[in-house]
Chains A and B, each alone.
Chain A
Amino acid sequence: MDELAAHLCDVAKRHGVDFADVRVVQRDGESVLVQDGRADKLATSADRGVGVRVLVGKAWGFASADSLQRDRGEQCVDDAIALAKASEAVVTDPARMAAAEPVETESRSDPDVMPGEMPIKEKIDRLLEYERAGRGAADNGHQIVNSIVSYAEAWHQETLANTAGTRIQSSGSRAVVTTLFVATDGSILQRGTEHRGIVGGAELLRQTDPDAFSVRAARKALAALDAKPAPAGRFTVVFHPSITGLLVHEALGHNAEGDAVWAGESILEGRLGDTIASPAVSVYDDSTLPGRFGSFAYDSEGTPGRRRPIIEEGRLVAFLHSLETAAKFDTEPTGSARAESYDCRPIVRMSNTFLEPAGADSGVPLAEMFRGVERGIYLEDGHWGYVFVQKGQFICHAGQAHMIEHGEVGEPLRDVSISSLTLDTLQNIDAVGDDFEMEMPGMCGKEGQSAPIDCGGPHVRVQDVVVGGQHTL
């Protein structure tokens, strides 16, 4: 792999390109799906290939092939150059690259349990144990009608080489375990889910306790049977850390990606240095957190990962950058260029994004957040979200919620989404907790690529949030 990457860089150089990088990737995966008491589907995958990106004049070309053969790689170089030349005459925003220091290193991130070390039988047995434990949570009158527990691990080896002299060999793995329980009281169905993900391997199955995982998911499904639909309208909302995570990832983080800002799509264009949030709000993106699902040592362009401030005490201090957007903004790259695999270009992405908890002296305890709220909603169990960066409008979906009435947590609510405008919401945060949780490992989609990320923060309280409920109070 290393020799192929270096060779293709040399070929590109001989063709006189202004810049080229080559990523040679080998990725192997294994997954187990247990459903309704059976190991239902066992799967394995093997994917290897090469991606070549070239800069010719002011235009980019990118070509990939699913082969590690030298001739296929050389064809990619030719194709990438032809693609760049085909568009060079019509490019209006010339491509540029920040001058990055060449890096020559090996970056290994071995899991505690190496691929193949844990027999598949042991994985199946562990998933069946999770499932049995979850099903055991069913109480009188309520029944679990469907349960799914799945585990997937992916091991990758990658060599990155570029014409500036960078040579990085990296390897590592990620593992994910998820569960879904569907419960019924005979008239309605409700779901409960949990998921865990790490940079690591099958040790995840040894670390994950059934009570905190499958039993918790089953209890969510069972509890939702007694929950009522949420009300509709504008409310004071207390966000659980999982919702805070969705807020900073979706509403803020995507708007802080340098490519969106440069393209004039982000609502944060031209706002650097401005106060855009409540002074209690500081937000960071950090790919150096050990074991976190969004962590990495080097990004897909060879820039080291780092802790990246986005908002500090309410002020927008920086965007996330690739080599290209850093050059265009005349600033430093932040190690935020990530490519899903060899067949994708690196684009600007987040890693682990979180709202910093307030200090012990200024943090608001959870009970305090409810106090003074005459009628509001406590939103828990963040599921998913999306954003239109162009409009600064986002949506977050929660699996669970509770009413807040007269300063106290009240009756349970089910399955509710909120929507608001990013800048309004950041300004309307009037309480930040001193607690912290980041347990939202997942895959973030952008331009057809998926990237592993995590997000979280403390509890926060936000005024004037629109809740998509089923009735008015």
Chain B
Amino acid sequence: MTVDETFYLDLAQQCVQRAVAAGAEWCDVQAGTARDITVTIEKTGIKNADAGRGEAIAIRAYVGGGMGYASVTGRERPTIDDAVDRAVALAKEATPDPDFRRLPDPQPQAEVEGIFDDAVAGLRVEQVVRMAVANIEAARALEPDVNLSGSVSLAVGHGALASSTGVALTQRTTDISASLAALLRCNGDTGYFYEFDFGRNLADCSLEDVSVGAVEGARRFLGARRIGSGRRTLVLGPLAAYGFLGQLLASASAESVQRGRSFLCGKEGEAIADVCLTVVDDGLVPRGLRSGAHDGEGTARRPLTVIEEGRLVSLLHNSYTAGKAGTESTGHGTHAGGIGPTNLRPLLGTRAAADLLAEVDDGIYLESGEIRPDPASGDISASIDFGFLIENGERVHPVESAMLGGNVFDLLERLDAVSSDAREEPGILMPTLRIHDVQIAGSE
């Protein structure tokens, strides 16, 4: 445990003691520090270098199941004590909640490798600037007239969690990211694409891939044309598939289902997708972007199969929803009381993405973009922001002013393949998905 982690754990435990003395029946406190450096790229040059340092403490107190929450920045003790007292006072004002059972007990925690990297933590601003410059130079070597924007940034955090049940945990993390948006304008035509790479470790963030990906993407999106409306096969490239499945995973929040506001209400145990879809959420993947030994409440993380061969087999729980349902928390709680997924790991199929695309006579390839179902109805009405027309197994040209529509269950039912190959970001797998018979709205 570092000096910082010892300090924050001690502080968190003192806050818990104060809250309990003030009348909290249950309490947990998260305390930590973070620093970050961001170098911004604009107009194909370095625009800014920014740095921030912060400390934050968040107190969650319960009285009769009602929750009071207080957050405060800085380390001035009177301010922190005041926040603790306010959290308890608010808990006393909240409506008692018989569905609240208890906060998690201390439990064995797996060690997750590779979520803190001394190489990232030790980076100086001059090195981050050099990385951003290298990014620009690599992109300009490919395309001298490209207009670039983006950033290179890092964050280093040390934190602790303590609770009235005896939870006493510390964690330290690093994150590094590089992003680049490439814009090409020639003869009234525009090609634009955004590429990124994230990692917990310096070795997992490839600047060259970002530069090449952005420039080649911008070149691909030159020459966009309008298309007509009709029903077509929709191929979701890795980024688009991640967006779609990520929304689906987030929708599996037990809170939304228990409250009756999710399109997944009443679907647990039922088939919601083609049998080719299996989705695992795994917060323990070494080096994973969303990995950690425990969630925001101290519950140990574990791999969780959410969709198995098309069937919704599990919801994501925190301690509150698990208590209400009489089950165990799945380790997806946030400290503020919410629920969130970790690393998305779809089970890969048996055929390569290129083969899936080659079989499409008339379709749309969505390289990147959001397909966000309405949280209640599951209806989808989304823009095809980065898409291509597919004809006879080939991507023939980018499309403009086109949209897709349907319902999330229609799309999941018409899913006919998950590719055997996938883009990998640390901890996360992004295969290609193919969905047949999707309504496309064009402007031709």
Residues of A within 8 A of B (CB): 35-49, 59-68, 79-80, 82-84, 86-87, 90-93, 120-121, 124, 145-146, 180, 182, 184, 188-191, 224, 229-230, 232-234, 259, 262-265, 343, 345, 388, 390-393, 395, 397, 414-421, 464, 466-472
Contact B192 A390 (CB under 8 A): yes
**What are the residues of chain A within 8 A of B250 when measuring CB–CB?**
none
Q: Is there a chain A Cβ closer than 8 Å to B166's Cβ?
A: no
Contact B46 A90 (CB under 8 A): yes
User: A343 vs B404: C-alpha distance in the bound complex, in angstroms?
Assistant: 39
Contact B52 A87 (CB under 8 A): no
Contact B383 A419 (CB under 8 A): yes
Please pick, from A60, A66, A469, the residue contacting B55 in the complex, using a CB distance under 8 A: A66
Q: How far, in Å, is A209 (CB) from chain B's closest CB?
A: 24
**What are the residues of chain B within 8 A of A190 when measuring CB–CB?**
376-377
- With A146-B261, A420-B401 known, 10 other A-B pairs at CB within 8 A are A40-B97, A49-B73, A60-B47, A87-B129, A93-B43, A145-B259, A189-B265, A263-B149, A392-B190, A393-B400
User: A35 vs B48: C-alpha distance in the bound complex, in angstroms?
Assistant: 43
Contact A421 B401 (CB under 8 A): yes
B25-56 interface with A by 8 A CB criterion: 39, 42-56
Contact A345 B50 (CB under 8 A): yes
Residue of B nearest to A471 (CB): B439
Interface-centre pick from B42, B192, B337, B441 (highest chain A CB count, 10 A): B441
**What are the residues of chain A within 8 A of B262 when measuring CB–CB?**
189
Contact B49 A145 (CB under 8 A): no
Contact B53 A64 (CB under 8 A): yes
Residue of A nearest to B53 (CB): A65
Contact A42 B381 (CB under 8 A): no
Q: Is there a chain A Cβ closer than 8 Å to B94's Cβ?
A: yes
Contact B49 A62 (CB under 8 A): yes
Contact B48 A264 (CB under 8 A): no
Contact A45 B72 (CB under 8 A): yes
**What are the residues of chain B within 8 A of A37 when measuring CB–CB?**
95
User: A76 vs B20: C-alpha distance in the bound complex, in angstroms?
Assistant: 37
User: A390 vs B385: C-alpha distance in the bound complex, in angstroms?
Assistant: 12
Contact B74 A466 (CB under 8 A): no
**What are the residues of chain B within 8 A of A90 when measuring CB–CB?**
45-46, 129, 133
Q: How far, in Å, is A76 (CB) from chain B's closest CB?
A: 9
Contact A82 B375 (CB under 8 A): no
Interface-centre pick from B192, B382, B401 (highest chain A CB count, 10 A): B401
Contact A87 B39 (CB under 8 A): yes
User: A417 vs B82: C-alpha distance in the bound complex, in angstroms?
Assistant: 46
Contact A469 B381 (CB under 8 A): yes
Residue of B nearest to A28 (CB): B72
B48-72 interface with A by 8 A CB criterion: 48-56, 66-72
User: A350 vs B391: C-alpha distance in the bound complex, in angstroms?
Assistant: 42
Q: How far, in Å, is B72 (CB) from chain A's closest CB?
A: 5
Please pick, from A43, A65, A120, A415, the residue contacting B379 in the complex, using a CB distance under 8 A: A415
Q: How far, in Å, is A61 (CB) from chain B's closest CB?
A: 6
User: A151 vs B363: C-alpha distance in the bound complex, in angstroms?
Assistant: 46
Selected interface stretch from B84-92, B205-213, B310-318: B84-92
**What are the residues of chain A within 8 A of B375 when measuring CB–CB?**
191
Given the known inter-chain contacts A91-B45, A345-B48, A395-B383, please indicate yes or no for A189 contacting B93, CB distance below 8 A: no
Q: Is there a chain A Cβ closer than 8 Å to B406's Cβ?
A: yes
Residue of B nearest to A234 (CB): B443
Contact A232 B376 (CB under 8 A): no
**What are the residues of chain A within 8 A of B383 when measuring CB–CB?**
393, 395, 417, 419, 468
Residue of B nearest to A470 (CB): B405
Please pick, from B43, B385, B441, the residue contacting A263 in the complex, using a CB distance under 8 A: B43
Q: Is there a chain A Cβ closer than 8 Å to B223's Cβ?
A: no
**What are the residues of chain B within 8 A of A259 when measuring CB–CB?**
42
**What are the residues of chain B within 8 A of A234 when measuring CB–CB?**
229, 441-443
A-B contact pairs, 18 of them (CB 8 A): A40-B97, A43-B69, A61-B49, A65-B54, A66-B74, A67-B74, A87-B46, A91-B47, A92-B44, A92-B45, A93-B47, A466-B403, A466-B442, A466-B443, A468-B405, A470-B406, A470-B407, A471-B405
Contact A82 B125 (CB under 8 A): yes
User: A464 vs B403: C-alpha distance in the bound complex, in angstroms?
Assistant: 14
Contact A419 B401 (CB under 8 A): yes
Given the known inter-chain contacts A87-B39, A189-B265, A397-B381, please indicate yes or no for A265 contacting B149, CB distance below 8 A: yes
Given the known inter-chain contacts A65-B54, A414-B377, please indicate yes or no for A468 contacting B403, CB distance below 8 A: yes
Please pick, from B50, B69, B401, the residue contacting A44 in the complex, using a CB distance under 8 A: B69
B258-288 interface with A by 8 A CB criterion: 259-263, 265
Q: How large is the interface on B (under 10, 10 to 19, 20 to 34, 35 or more residues)?
A: 35 or more
**What are the residues of chain B within 8 A of A263 when measuring CB–CB?**
42-43, 147, 149
User: A175 vs B190: C-alpha distance in the bound complex, in angstroms?
Assistant: 41
Residue of B nearest to A123 (CB): B93
B395-433 interface with A by 8 A CB criterion: 400-407
Q: Is there a chain A Cβ closer than 8 Å to B181's Cβ?
A: yes
User: A67 vs B72: C-alpha distance in the bound complex, in angstroms?
Assistant: 11
Q: How far, in Å, is A78 (CB) from chain B's closest CB?
A: 11
User: A191 vs B97: C-alpha distance in the bound complex, in angstroms?
Assistant: 25
Contact A388 B90 (CB under 8 A): no
Contact B52 A64 (CB under 8 A): yes
User: A466 vs B73: C-alpha distance in the bound complex, in angstroms?
Assistant: 46
Q: How far, in Å, is B296 (CB) from chain A's closest CB?
A: 15
User: A394 vs B72: C-alpha distance in the bound complex, in angstroms?
Assistant: 38
Residue of B nearest to A397 (CB): B381
User: When each residue 238-263 of chain B gets 1 if its CB lies under 8 Å from chain A and 0 otherwise, what string results?
Assistant: 00000000000000000000011111
**What are the residues of chain A within 8 A of B183 when measuring CB–CB?**
264-265, 390
User: A180 vs B52: C-alpha distance in the bound complex, in angstroms?
Assistant: 36
**What are the residues of chain A within 8 A of B45 when measuring CB–CB?**
90-93
Q: Is there a chain A Cβ closer than 8 Å to B4's Cβ?
A: no
Please pick, from B97, B147, B376, the residue contacting A182 in the complex, using a CB distance under 8 A: B376
User: When each residue 367-391 of chain B gets 1 if its CB lies under 8 Å from chain A and 0 otherwise, what string results?
Assistant: 0000000111101011101000000
Q: Is there a chain A Cβ closer than 8 Å to B16's Cβ?
A: no
Contact B125 A86 (CB under 8 A): yes
Q: Is there a chain A Cβ closer than 8 Å to B83's Cβ?
A: yes
Residue of A nearest to B259 (CB): A146
**What are the residues of chain A within 8 A of B94 when measuring CB–CB?**
38-42
**What are the residues of chain B within 8 A of A62 when measuring CB–CB?**
48-51
User: A292 vs B383: C-alpha distance in the bound complex, in angstroms?
Assistant: 31
Q: How far, in Å, is A396 (CB) from chain B's closest CB?
A: 10
**What are the residues of chain B within 8 A of A124 when measuring CB–CB?**
93, 95
Residue of A nearest to B76 (CB): A67
**What are the residues of chain B within 8 A of A60 when measuring CB–CB?**
47-49
Contact B86 A44 (CB under 8 A): yes
Contact B74 A48 (CB under 8 A): yes
**What are the residues of chain A within 8 A of B83 when measuring CB–CB?**
44, 46
Contact B402 A42 (CB under 8 A): no
Contact B381 A417 (CB under 8 A): yes
Q: How far, in Å, is A339 (CB) from chain B's closest CB?
A: 11
Contact B95 A45 (CB under 8 A): no
Please pick, from B90, B190, B192, the residue contacting A42 in the complex, using a CB distance under 8 A: B90
Please pick, from B66, B192, B439, the residue contacting A388 in the complex, using a CB distance under 8 A: B192
Contact B48 A44 (CB under 8 A): no
Q: How far, in Å, is A457 (CB) from chain B's closest CB?
A: 22
Residue of B nearest to A27 (CB): B73
Residue of A nearest to B127 (CB): A86
**What are the residues of chain B within 8 A of A59 when measuring CB–CB?**
46, 49
**What are the residues of chain A within 8 A of B405 when measuring CB–CB?**
229-230, 232, 468-471
